[in-house]
Structure 1
Amino acid sequence: MTETHALEAAEFWEARYRDGGPVWSGRPNALLVRETEELTPGTALDLGCGEGGDAVWLASRGWRVTGVDISRTALERAAGHAAEAGVADRTTWERHVLGETFPGGTYDLVNAQFLQSPVPLDQQTVLRRAADAVAPGGTLLIVLHAGWPSWQTEPPFPAQFPTLAEVPEQLALPEGEWTVVAQETVRSPHTSPDGAQGHRDNHVWHFRRH
């Protein structure tokens, strides 16, 4: 990502959070819950944490979580939600322009939910660095939209929708070092802003490092 693109991304996401009320529901993503609720808590990295829904849920279950986002306003809200939930001592918040900077260390869980953006994002580089950050015995969970909602007749902006096969190909995980726990497309109900009923497909990749 060039310096110009990084500035564009930072300005876009900061304005989105700063110029309105809550952007997300505050609830954890359903596929995160499904894939991790049986895991033994350890250290977790939540990439693109937004207002902290996933990170706070993980912390409430005993994980020590580092939440990362490009928006300072989002991180401030996430820290507030963690304090309200009584898990501030189990959460750390870092600002990164993913694709340029990345948290140090390794983690028992790296969570990458919907790292798709209307402004430039080097998704492939971010996901490769996410894999590198998984500790031995740890989990990499990636969830991405597979396409627009069924009721979306005209795409509002160009978007990256990798196929189910493309992400493993891009990650190029060393053979024998990883197990594929789940690799599937999940269809969920999805309602439009004006109340139209429909669905949206999401791809799930759950990898475990040996």
Structure 2
Amino acid sequence: MNYRLAYAIGFHPWEDAAADPPFVAKAAQMFDREELGRQPPYGRALDLGTGSGIWGIELAKRGWQVTGVDLVEKALRRAHDRVRSASVEMKLVRGDVTALGRAGIGDGFRLILDTGAFHGLQPEEQIAMGQEVTAVSAPDATVLLFVWPRRIRPLIRGAYRSDVEAAFPAWEITDVEPSHFSLPILLEVILRPDEKWYRLRRKLSFELINR
């Protein structure tokens, strides 16, 4: 999907998810799980393809130290406005999710959130993104990956579970859960969503082998 064009013409229906109670409740449940038994600040969080910063801001409100990365300048300008309005601390960086090292974001991220970048990439880009995420994540990190299944549809390419596994060999998929995301009826018919949340954790065995 051409996100630059989408933001240029004001087409960003994914932002409506923030006003979709079932989706918001599910996201909150997943964040709660990562915070269980801990006290804020929870550590570094990375919001990949942050767009206008909606979910990164939510993490910042909860006590995460958030960095949001996106390539689209107009989206980042919207994110800056949202961050100011929310009165939270969130670092916003222009960068490519397939080249995080060049973005200079640092490392040690304990939570990596992707609400729609991965499933729009080509296979080689997905592999690159997985490698970059692994390079900047902490040993005990979690990835929360929002993925639409691959099928013929406009706008969103989608991805299979096998695509996730191929891109993240250093990680284990611990959970695959429905997101409860809903769309206006016309977009439901056109896009045929059946999206899932994938939860991934670093593999200890992989870490030991590759030391």
Alignment of 1:14-33 (within 5 A): 14-20=4-10, 24-25=15-16, 27=18, 30=24, 31-33=26-28
Please give the alpha-carbon distance, in whole angstroms, between the structure 1 residues aligned to 2:31 and 2:68: 16
Equivalent residue for 1:34, pick from 26, 29, 33? 29
Equivalent residue for 2:154, pick from 146, 153, 156? 156
SS of 2:18 mapped into structure 1? coil
Counting strand residues as a fraction of each chain, which structure ranks higher? 1
**Structure 1 residues 205 and 21: alpha-carbon distance in aligned structure 2, compared to 1, 3 A threshold:** closer
The reply to whether residue 108 of structure 1 matches residue 106 of structure 2 is: no
What is the one-letter code of the residue matched to 1:131? T
Partner of 1:76: 77
TM-score calculated relative to the size of structure 2: 0.72
What is the one-letter code of the residue matched to 1:37? D
Please give the alpha-carbon distance, in whole angstroms, between the structure 2 residues aligned to 1:63 and 1:94: 17
The reply to whether residue 132 of structure 1 matches residue 135 of structure 2 is: yes
In structure 2, list runs of 5 or more residues that go unmatched.
36-41, 205-211
The answer to whether the 8 Å contact 1:189/1:197 transfers is no
For the aligned residue pairs, the C-alpha RMSD in angstroms reads: 3.3
Give the superposition deviation at 1:100.
3.6
Partner of 2:209: none
Please give the alpha-carbon distance, in whole angstroms, between the structure 2 residues aligned to 1:86 and 1:100: 29
Number of residue pairs aligned between Structure 1 and Structure 2: 188
What is the one-letter code of the residue matched to 2:52? E
Give the superposition deviation at 1:46.
0.4
What is the one-letter code of the residue matched to 1:114? G
Partner of 2:39: none
Equivalent residue for 1:208, pick from 190, 196, 201? 201
**Structure 1 residues 26 and 75: alpha-carbon distance in aligned structure 2, compared to 1, 3 A threshold:** farther
Equivalent residue for 1:170, pick from 144, 167, 170? 167
The answer to whether the 8 Å contact 2:48/2:114 transfers is yes
The range that moved more, 52-61 or 114-123, is 114-123
Superposed CA deviations along residues 61-94 of structure 1, whole A, max 9, x for unmatched, are: 111100000111111111111111111xx20000
Partner of 2:52: 51
**Structure 1 residues 97 and 52: alpha-carbon distance in aligned structure 2, compared to 1, 3 A threshold:** same
The reply to whether residue 95 of structure 1 matches residue 94 of structure 2 is: yes
The range that moved more, 192-201 or 76-85, is 192-201
Counting helix residues as a fraction of each chain, which structure ranks higher? 2
Please give the alpha-carbon distance, in whole angstroms, between the structure 2 residues aligned to 1:162 and 1:195: 18
**Structure 1 residues 99 and 138: alpha-carbon distance in aligned structure 2, compared to 1, 3 A threshold:** closer
Please give the alpha-carbon distance, in whole angstroms, between the structure 1 residues aligned to 2:124 and 2:81: 27
In structure 1, list runs of 5 or more residues that go unmatched.
1-8, 149-153
Give identity over the alignment, percent.
Answer: 22
SS of 2:81 mapped into structure 1? helix
Give the superposition deviation at 1:185.
5.3
Give the superposition deviation at 1:125.
1.1
